[in-house]
Structure 1
Amino acid sequence: MEEEEFESFFKKEMFSRIDEMIEENKLTIENAILLMKHIGYCKTMKFLFLHSFEENSFRVRLEKMIIEENEKKDEKNEKLLVDLCECYLLLNDEFILYDFLSMIMPPLLKVASKKEESEETKKEVEMALLALSCIRKYREIEQELYLNEIKEIIKYHQEHRTMTRLAYQSAWMFLIDRLDTDKSLERVIVNELHFAREATRELEELTICIDWKRGKETKEEVILFGWLRTLQSFFFLFQLRNEEFIWLFSSIVQVFRAAKDNCRGIRSQCICSLRRAAKNRNVKIDDWMKSGAIDAILEEIQRPTLNDDVAYECLLFFTNVSNRLKEKTKNKMNERKRKATKMETFEKLEEEGYEDIITSFHETLNFLNRKYNYELSLDISDYFMNV
């Protein structure tokens, strides 16, 4: 189900009707939560939005129940509280007040910290972390509320491999999204938890285990899609350099080539990830040059079935490549290396007919600018290294 279909089906009236059925004793709160959690799970796994959850009576009921259950001193129903919190986060796409988040996060982190290896426990951990990953990235959260717990969860998995792939990806998505408002997390993510190394391993393992010729989307493909979205946020936000990045870029290219014609959405996400990496000045030019990213995107931009979305991402990638290679350095050795890299890149692009390809897009640049509301240069020379 696509986003437009999803939104049209799950309207505010549906949530209001669920609330009425609970009030009329036609539906138990337990069954209502189970149903709504399933809807929220499907919505989250499809990366869809559900604006109809905002300001409806069922949401108000959930909030009230979470507050009441949290305030109980004795006989607190922890399972009910966790179900309520998961249901709320999986359905919610709006801003959540900090005081309310401080009620939701502790019970979910407690579940996510479970170390038993039974299938039931793994599923509980997965659902708790998936719900936490739904907290929007612009939401500032004090480190005291989550950092020790999420670090322990990630480190324990790195040592024992006890979580599901979805749970692990969700844990990283939650943490990376906190970078948007808390740059102090970067050293923990890059140097202590080795995000690039872990993401590389996950991408490589997923690439191997996915049957790319299947017509129906698999759970593994959804998880891979989630990793690529997480990488885009990371490349946009991080400022520390790390030697592990070159392997990460190579793994993205590996995914790109594996997807071929069967998973255009994943190919597009790969291009977007590489485009953001190319723009980040904290990424060494040699890292993404050696990864084969330029060759992969040159292949894509020459495809006869290239659509507007992918063409736009490709052009942005080459704009970023050009801009990075035009940056001069004061260090003479680095400047000589930059010029050599620039010449090598230019020769490769010239050999592949890059100039003719870009020129062929000249008439469509105005259209792409209007469509995406993001400026691409109309001067063709801006896309070249000007060696």
Structure 2
Amino acid sequence: MLVDEEKEEEEERNEKLLINLYECYILLSPEFLPISLSICVPCLLKAALKKEEKEETQKETEIALLALSNIGSYRTEKELYLNEIKEVILNHQERHNLTRLAYQSAWRFLMNEFEYDEGLEGVIVNKMHFIEDTTKELEELIKNIDWKREKEEERGKEAKELLILMKWLEIIRSYFFSCKIWNEKYVDLISSIIQILRASRDGFKDIYVDSLFLLKGAAEKGNVKIDDLLKGRAIDLILEEIKRRTVDKDI
């Protein structure tokens, strides 16, 4: 169906049907063929580039980017996506026109590609300001979550924020896994992760463990310098945890 629809004459195409078809294909398929991605990715990025700020358009953009973020471990040719996804992200940084989930999905898609293409590092770090913008996102989420809620059922209103926070931690982990160069902004990012660790250690174990192993992985890879860990107060947190009598044995 994908190939047949793509062969239709341009004036006969139903663009909305195509977008819906491609989204369903990506979200429901267990694996992808290269030819199908070469058809789907440009079309969904075109949908994500719509600049209207209507609620309906925002929802369409969100679903298109969410679908792209689910492609996972499949390499896409750079010419099919890089200029467009870069425009989507930079446009949001300037105009704040995407939902939180849509913006995060755009970075997830790009980070999936980064795992296969080291050449993206310069663009991500220097032109798209990944570290600075991710730090801002974490700081905003830290403020919006009530970390003192004791019962899980009381966290309904914040479930979305918690899920988005965990997804950001996954994206940062992918970045640390793939990046090779040191960045001077790491101290600010580490400070934010330390804030999350302190806030989550008593009632949000999943987030706490994810944050802890994120720092561990970054340190082991060598992308983060010891000075960054010291300035970000990571060592202070570790000493606090060692002294805590209730520390989880696994942690």
TM-score strictly above 0.5? yes
**What amino acid is the match of 1:154?**
I
- CA–CA distance in 1 between the matches of 2:62 and 2:238? 34
1:224 maps to 2:165: yes
**Are the structure 2 counterparts of residues 79 and 136 from structure 1 closer, same or farther at C-alpha, using a change threshold of 3 Å?**
same
Of 168, 176, 183, 1:242 maps to 183
- CA–CA distance in 2 between the matches of 1:250 and 1:120? 37
Are the counterparts in 1 of residues 131 and 185 from structure 2 also a CA contact under 8 Å? yes
**Are the structure 2 counterparts of residues 119 and 303 from structure 1 closer, same or farther at C-alpha, using a change threshold of 3 Å?**
farther
Please list, as runs of the form range in 1=range in 2, the aligned pairs for 1:178-189 lying within 5 A after superposition. Answer: 178-189=113-124
Task: State the Cα distance separating 1:249 from its structure 2 match.
Answer: 0.7
Q: Give the equivalent residue in structure 2 for 1:304.
A: 246
Q: Give the equivalent residue in structure 2 for 1:80.
A: 17
- CA–CA distance in 2 between the matches of 1:149 and 1:303? 51
Are the counterparts in 2 of residues 93 and 136 from structure 1 also a CA contact under 8 Å? no
Q: Give the equivalent residue in structure 2 for 1:196.
A: 131
Are the counterparts in 1 of residues 48 and 65 from structure 2 also a CA contact under 8 Å? yes
Task: State the Cα distance separating 1:215 from its structure 2 match.
Answer: 3.2
Q: Give the equivalent residue in structure 2 for 1:105.
A: 41
- CA–CA distance in 2 between the matches of 1:250 and 1:159? 25
1:81-140 Cα shifts (integer Å, max 9, x gaps)? 11121122222343x221110011111101111111111111111111111011113x22
Which range moves more in the overlay, 226-235 or 280-289?
A: 280-289
TM-score (norm 2): 0.91
Q: Give the equivalent residue in structure 2 for 1:118.
A: 54
1:276-301 Cα shifts (integer Å, max 9, x gaps)? 11112232210122212233344445
- CA–CA distance in 2 between the matches of 1:143 and 1:93? 23
- CA–CA distance in 2 between the matches of 1:268 and 1:145? 36
Of 220, 230, 235, 1:294 maps to 235
Q: Give the equivalent residue in structure 2 for 1:215.
A: 155
1:129 maps to 2:65: yes
**Are the structure 2 counterparts of residues 277 and 84 from structure 1 closer, same or farther at C-alpha, using a change threshold of 3 Å?**
same
**What amino acid is the match of 1:153?**
V
- CA–CA distance in 2 between the matches of 1:263 and 1:154? 30
**What amino acid is the match of 1:130?**
L
Query: Mind listing any 5+ residue stretches in structure 1 that lack a counterpart?
Result: 1-64, 312-387
Task: State the Cα distance separating 1:223 from its structure 2 match.
Answer: 0.9
TM-score (norm 1): 0.60
**What amino acid is the match of 1:193?**
M
Please state whether the residue corresponding to 2:155 is helix, strand or coil.
coil
Which range moves more in the overlay, 205-214 or 263-272?
A: 205-214
How many equivalent residue pairs?
243
Are the counterparts in 2 of residues 204 and 255 from structure 1 also a CA contact under 8 Å? no
Q: Give the equivalent residue in structure 2 for 1:145.
A: 80
1:313-337 Cα shifts (integer Å, max 9, x gaps)? xxxxxxxxxxxxxxxxxxxxxxxxx
Are the counterparts in 1 of residues 176 and 223 from structure 2 also a CA contact under 8 Å? no
Q: Give the equivalent residue in structure 2 for 1:67.
A: 3
Are the counterparts in 2 of residues 126 and 167 from structure 1 also a CA contact under 8 Å? yes
**Are the structure 2 counterparts of residues 280 and 305 from structure 1 closer, same or farther at C-alpha, using a change threshold of 3 Å?**
closer
Bigger radius of gyration among the two: 1
Are the counterparts in 1 of residues 241 and 247 from structure 2 also a CA contact under 8 Å? no
Are the counterparts in 2 of residues 271 and 297 from structure 1 also a CA contact under 8 Å? no
Are the counterparts in 2 of residues 155 and 193 from structure 1 also a CA contact under 8 Å? yes
**What amino acid is the match of 1:267?**
Y
- CA–CA distance in 2 between the matches of 1:198 and 1:161? 12
Give the alignment's Cα RMSD to 1 decimal.
1.7
1:250-301 Cα shifts (integer Å, max 9, x gaps)? 1111122222323211111111211111112232210122212233344445
Higher relative contact order (CA 8 A, sep 6+): 2
1:91 maps to 2:28: yes
Q: Give the equivalent residue in structure 2 for 1:52.
A: none
Q: Give the equivalent residue in structure 2 for 1:265.
A: 206
Please state whether the residue corresponding to 2:12 is helix, strand or coil.
coil
**What amino acid is the match of 2:65?**
L
1:146-200 Cα shifts (integer Å, max 9, x gaps)? 0000011111111111101111111111111211111000000011111000100
Are the counterparts in 2 of residues 157 and 163 from structure 1 also a CA contact under 8 Å? yes
